[in-house]
Structure 1
């Protein structure tokens, strides 16, 4: 049996609407300081550095897993597909061996990659992968022999979305680990204990805490989606807020049929439950009659001094929308991978990706493409050359990297005029 949770509201952790005006004024005062002509460049630079303390990107790919380990594990961040990295990957495929600095990010069981689109000056996506994901202390023992991982995508939006996504990718893993310890105590992952509701509550608390503790200047002017997958043993938990998505794919016996087993929902204002909550809290939704699914939540922004709209109904950040029903609460789903429908498959894998990928091709396309990376019986389907003209490598360890790189090449517009959002994907 699958467990699906629509997490309830915890008012003590949300940004109280009474504080919104105060937070907005903080941002406006900071703007006024920066705009005064009497502020000298050194002072202005100092203020900017203080306000943007989370603006630094994760470590470069070749050092991302060195000296970066935390009590919960060693996070890896997706390498960016620059022309230089593209050349390194192609050389690796041609020589049937990954170049040394790429080895942490591409293995036989997972691959991760990000690419800046043409819609922003910089990549607003962030992601991470941690395996194993350690969630215990001396008082709360766990079975460390069980497989575990944490995979997450954060897709920033609006002017400072990249700063919000950066802050969330840094803060969420530790906050989640702490909340899981507090929620589960000595009942941690016992076979006879239904921990699903407690894990869902820990996810809910984590999203709300990270949102509440955000830097006001950034969280007023930007937001981010959050798609987070946690596996521990046979349990898979998926928490989502926004329009990034997590997809579970299986390849079934005996014919090697590729199936979309589960997909998190894109949280959009046109959804009935989302629209009801937003309108109940006094929010206004603009619906285009020609494209009703492109509905947007409209607010008058004090920080921007303009009327602005948001294309999603759940997110972290976007503080000026919180008092009108755009919540940071995630929808949490639980799946037991020991169920017969999953145990009897040839292979089972997960795709965690930003909407820059999902908006270009259908979900089934990605499921079919990535299935050839993890299922030996489908390898013959990938015998043709890739979009970049490279023949698939024979080493199984390179297959996930090859297919992920190939998919990025296939969905990226070939002309400079073609629109392309930031794309980030992790396959496990």
Structure 2
């Protein structure tokens, strides 16, 4: 991430080395950073000068983590909780730029759970991902509480008018999912959808003026989910993904993709970028990976159409507006897997649900990460293994579910493109 193209590399080595790098050219030159705010002058280095910008970001990040670490039910390290399993592993590209979160007892009611996976990219991607992980849930929680109060007042006065419902995007199973929503979806979805939109917008605004994290050429994805009772609301920006493991009419566990990867190849994404004078094309050595470029420069080459940060592209079609989806949990639904593309690049949706369904709940996320690491070495031996973060949210209690040996449908995945994702 953040590396330059090498003119000396052979085509085969180049493809392997560059596979799935988010940035493929030299970072844009940036202006000298502004003078630090007065508060930073208290943080002096050995020579009496203010601490470097990166060090200040690390110190602020550590302070935030210490405060949030004390919040009951909030997990961001490898763990197994009452309702979830989460695991992250550094790849071979340098510092781990993935972050993850499970927050139980989230929001207004005790049965709410928030989960998220955040995949950073660029020189400061690890800091952006952690900042989004720490900041987004707090803003989402605050807006949700405020919007819920407004909705209750509106309902009491008889003026409640729910907005449209987004559906899971897997066409094969979209109908039976969306038709099982019932009336209760109107209690949760409109308020949470508005909360997601406001929270994502505010987080990106704060990143733009962040005093310690340079987000000009760095950014992060975010796939987040709130479960309250039988309601799931998913907010997504970027190419991390949420996949539901559910049972079909034969009792076999199958995969239903709940989010859409925001790739520049999507027609609506490419159209928006081009209308804003950005460019979308793939490099000759990796024709399968479309990227976003500035109008008059071969930079930065971002492999997604939506992201937090990356402000060098925000005037040229890149956005941080989330797509928000709703799903009403049924008796057939078993779990949801949230993961960065370090998982989805080497394992198909069906392979992922097969692994989770057959693994002990406490080790489900780790089993996925370990399997992905082996798959990287097998499928892309010339490439560096990518970072990987996984959250498995279980929709049934331990007494209802079975930790292993679920029946699995072995039919090939029919996701967005109708083809297996394992070879991307």
TM-score scaled by structure 1? 0.67
Q: Is the 8 A contact 1:204 1:330 kept in 2?
A: yes
The answer to whether 1:308 aligns with 2:273 is no
Please name the residue that 1:126 is paired with: 99
Give distance in 2, aligned partners of 1:40 and 1:171. Answer: 31
Q: Is the 8 A contact 1:55 1:162 kept in 2?
A: no
2:122 corresponds, among 151, 154, 158, to 158
The answer to whether 1:367 aligns with 2:328 is no
Structure 1 residue 131 displacement after superposition = 0.8
Q: Is the 8 A contact 1:269 1:275 kept in 2?
A: yes
The answer to whether 1:243 aligns with 2:239 is yes
- Match of 1:267, SS state, is coil
Please name the residue that 2:176 is paired with: none
The answer to whether 1:198 aligns with 2:156 is no
The answer to whether 1:106 aligns with 2:80 is yes
The aligned length equals 322
Q: Is the 8 A contact 1:157 1:222 kept in 2?
A: yes
Per-residue CA distance 1:356-395 (angstroms, 9 max, x = gap): 011011111011110124xxxxxxxxxxxxxxxxxxxxxx
Give distance in 2, aligned partners of 1:162 and 1:48. Answer: 11
The answer to whether 1:352 aligns with 2:338 is yes
Please name the residue that 1:377 is paired with: none
Give distance in 2, aligned partners of 1:197 and 1:293. Answer: 37
1:335 corresponds, among 327, 334, 337, to 327
Per-residue CA distance 1:268-308 (angstroms, 9 max, x = gap): 1110000111111111112357855411111279xxx9732
Please name the residue that 1:68 is paired with: 70
Give distance in 1, aligned partners of 2:185 and 2:33. Answer: 53
Q: Is the 8 A contact 2:278 2:295 kept in 1?
A: no
Counterpart mapping for 1:26-425 below 5 A: 28-30=31-33, 42-43=48-49, 45-56=51-62, 68-69=70-71, 74-79=73-78, 105-107=79-81, 109-119=83-93, 121-135=94-108, 144=109, 147-185=111-149, 187=151, 191=184, 193-214=186-207, 215=210, 217-252=213-248, 255-288=250-283, 293-299=288-294, 307-337=299-329, 342-343=330-331, 345=332, 347-373=333-359, 399-413=360-374, 419-425=384-390
Please name the residue that 1:383 is paired with: none
Structure 1 residue 179 displacement after superposition = 1.1
Structure 1 residue 41 displacement after superposition = 5.1
Give distance in 2, aligned partners of 1:293 and 1:32. Answer: 43
- Match of 1:320, SS state, is coil
Q: Is the 8 A contact 1:300 1:307 kept in 2?
A: no
Unaligned runs of 5+ in 1: 1-23, 34-38, 80-104, 136-143, 374-398
Please name the residue that 1:378 is paired with: none
Q: Higher helix share goes to which structure? A: 1
- Match of 1:365, SS state, is helix
Per-residue CA distance 1:13-47 (angstroms, 9 max, x = gap): xxxxxxxxxxx99x6222899xxxxx975526354
Structure 1 residue 57 displacement after superposition = 9.4
Give distance in 2, aligned partners of 1:286 and 1:195. Answer: 40
Structure 2 vs 1, CA of residues 155 and 293 (structure 1 numbering), >3 Å: closer, same or farther?
Answer: same
Structure 1 residue 109 displacement after superposition = 3.7
- Match of 1:319, SS state, is coil
Q: Is the 8 A contact 1:237 1:333 kept in 2?
A: yes
Please name the residue that 1:379 is paired with: none
Structure 2 vs 1, CA of residues 115 and 333 (structure 1 numbering), >3 Å: closer, same or farther?
Answer: same
Give distance in 1, aligned partners of 2:308 and 2:89. Answer: 22
Unaligned runs of 5+ in 2: 1-27, 37-44, 156-182, 394-424
